[in-house]
Amino acid sequence: MNTYVCRYCRQPSDPSQPTCPLCGAPVDIRESVSDSGWIQQPPIKDMAKLQFGQSHCQIAGTVVPVAEFNLAHGEMVYFSHHVLLWADPATRLQNMSMRGGWKRMIAGLPMIMLEAHGPGHIALSDNHAGEVIALPLQHGQSMWVKEHRFLTATGNIRYDWNSNDVWFVTGDSDEQETHYPMGQYGDIFTAADRPGMLLLADRNFLGHPLWTAARAQGAHLLWRAKRTKPLLPVRQALPDGSWLSIVHDPADARAWRRNLARNHRRGHKPPRPRPIKGIIVRVVEAMITVTVDGVTRTERYRLVTSLLDPDHAPAEHLVALYARRWAAETGIREIKTVLLAGRPLRGATPTRALQELWATLVVYQAIRLLICQAALTQDLDPSRISFTAALNTAQHKITTTPTHAPEHLAQAYNDLCRHLITRHIHARVFPRARKNTLSRYPYRGTTRQLTCTKASYQIDIVPHTTPGSTPTGPAPTAQPRAA
């Protein structure tokens, strides 16, 4: 199939389609240039279709256009509340948290923003004549939009707002007047830095505030949860044995309990039951059997993820991927044992210790970047290049830096690719043990030197089988206690 590169969004598309599936610009239109030299994007044609992820949007009308969305499972868009025309019952709507509510009200910006989560259909339209322009953003790209011009954005775009610094003053003394040619305030939209990022975490981290903050950075999450807390009731059972649940907002739960206690003290009736605000997550439970030297050990794991589609991320793959979380322990060992050589930080004050810690992390990331660049030159797995060899190579090349930097880097890459780990095994374990206290004197104890041992794993997904715990209709109105 021939590829057509759109002249407006600069993205490849199918030339057989009448419009670009990303920005909606007609494929067969000539370039139109304004008097100032800017290229004008043509208006989107009636009934043009836009594609984003597994969802799509259809633009209906030309005078007062309407954007009709067919949202796929696990995808969402957000918008101001006054542009919503209709939404089918399957679409889940919730408020979007924003900063500076009082300042937004003074600035005349919308106070309420809504999120629409798929699957489902919604329709959006502004209440005046005009055109709809779709602007796809690349990873790490930002865009500033004049106030009251924003219609909607997809869920992988971060939203912020600020005042405009472009202004001029006319008149003098008491007749001065400030003009903002591009608007006094504007909306800022930023695409995620990189696609496909999955953040892994151990127990004791799962909670509504930290989960919300991590998801706001554009990454998907796969965190381990305790078996008893927080409570993750089954809201919808999935075919692969996992289920959809909700992590409740503790602030909203506390507000409900305070309201209930206040009405009880005053002798009023209890408030009408309402659902506690929360985030829809997917829960996977599995029995993991580990066999080491003929000894078998079985443990139950409960994982919570933001990947809601079981076809896109099967439960078995998520459980197997969670084992890679231990790569963080390897990184910590490289920082403490290899880079710092077992020495503690020298800073005697918190400020100096923080400065030294940041310097250590900068050097660590620079060496890791050197390893990744060297692996790309010969199509290798970066984990096969020794971190110690990379550190020694960087120290040596710093003292013998040639005049030309490209030659210097090429020589360093060749040296690193010769220092490969001959056998890289992910299916291995290292037993836990209490470390010896740091001392200037040699240790004379009889501590057994532990070594890595190859292990075999077996994963069995455990579906939720509690009677009556797999509802398919709307959630009950009981007030849960959020952790």
Nearest to 199 by CA among 62, 94, 102, 327: 327
What's the mean pLDDT in 224-230?
A: 83
pLDDT at 36 (0 to 100): 61
pLDDT higher than 70, residue 422: no
pLDDT at 471 (0 to 100): 36
CA 16 – CA 3 distance, rounded (Å): 9
pLDDT higher than 70, residue 400: no
CA 417 – CA 409 distance, rounded (Å): 12
148 neighbors 118 (Cβ within 8 angstroms) = no
Window from 111-125, 161-175, 327-341, 445-459 with minimum mean pLDDT: 445-459
Q: Compute CA distances 296 → 333, 452, 459, 462, whole Å.
A: 28, 17, 13, 19
Residues contacting 81, CB < 8 A, separation 6+: 110, 112, 113, 114
CA angle 204, 214, 74 (to 5 degrees): 105
pLDDT higher than 90, residue 455: no
pLDDT higher than 60, residue 478: no
Tell me the one-letter amino acid at 253: A
CA 36 – CA 106 distance, rounded (Å): 34
- Supply 187's token pair: 């909306």
277 neighbors 252 (Cβ within 8 angstroms) = yes
Please give the DSSP secondary-structure letter assigned to residue 83: G
* pTM beyond 0.85: no
89 or 416: which leads in pLDDT: 89
pLDDT at 123 (0 to 100): 92
141 or 371: which leads in pLDDT: 371
CA 404 – CA 381 distance, rounded (Å): 28
pLDDT at 444 (0 to 100): 66
- For the chain, how many residues are written? 483
H-type alpha helices, 45-133: 101-107
66 or 194: which leads in pLDDT: 66
Top mean-pLDDT range of 107-116, 348-357, 384-393: 348-357
Residues contacting 190, CB < 8 A, separation 6+: 137, 140, 141, 142, 143, 157, 158, 160
pLDDT at 429 (0 to 100): 62
CA 246 – CA 283 distance, rounded (Å): 9
Quick one: angle between helices 350-377 and 387-399, nearest 10? 100
pLDDT at 10 (0 to 100): 67
pLDDT at 267 (0 to 100): 84
53-88 per-position pLDDT tens digit? 788 888 888 888 888 999 988 788 999 888 899 999
Window from 84-93, 237-246, 310-319, 445-454 with minimum mean pLDDT: 445-454
pLDDT at 323 (0 to 100): 75
Nearest to 11 by CA among 442, 1, 24, 159: 24
Cα-trace Rg, the chain? 28
Q: Is the bond into 350 cis (omega within 30 degrees of 0)?
A: no
Judged by DSSP in three states, 477 sits in coil
Q: Where in the chain are the domains?
A: 43-191, 200-326
Task: Count H helices and E strands in the chain, helices first.
Answer: 8, 27
CA 249 – CA 149 distance, rounded (Å): 31
Window from 133-142, 212-221, 304-313, 449-458 with minimum mean pLDDT: 449-458
221 or 15: which leads in pLDDT: 221
As a dihedral over the C-alpha atoms of residue 418, residue 423, residue 427, residue 430, rounded to 10 degrees, the angle is -90
CA 239 – CA 284 distance, rounded (Å): 12
43-191: CATH architecture: 4-Layer Sandwich (3.60)
DSSP output for 171-232: S-GGG-EEE-TT-SEEEEEEE-SSSS-EEEE-TT---HHHHHHHHTTT-EEEEE--SSSS--
Window from 79-83, 160-164, 419-423, 471-475 with minimum mean pLDDT: 471-475
Can you list the positions of beta strands (E) in 62-197? 66-71, 76-80, 84-87, 92-95, 113-117, 120-124, 142-146, 152-154, 157-163, 168-170, 177-179, 185-191
CA 340 – CA 337 distance, rounded (Å): 6
CA angle 33, 39, 45 (to 5 degrees): 95
Window from 52-66, 191-205, 363-377 with minimum mean pLDDT: 191-205
What's the mean pLDDT when you consider all of the chain? 78
pLDDT at 305 (0 to 100): 92
152-177 per-position pLDDT tens digit? 888 878 888 777 777 788 887 777 88
H-type alpha helices, 313-441: 315-322, 327-333, 350-377, 387-399, 405-417
Residue 99, burial from CB neighbour count under 10 angstroms (0-12, 13-18, 19+)? exposed
Window from 11-20, 160-169, 188-197, 466-475 with minimum mean pLDDT: 466-475
pLDDT higher than 50, residue 196: yes
42 or 31: which leads in pLDDT: 42
482 pLDDT band (50/70/90 cuts)? very low
304 pLDDT band (50/70/90 cuts)? very high
pLDDT at 293 (0 to 100): 76
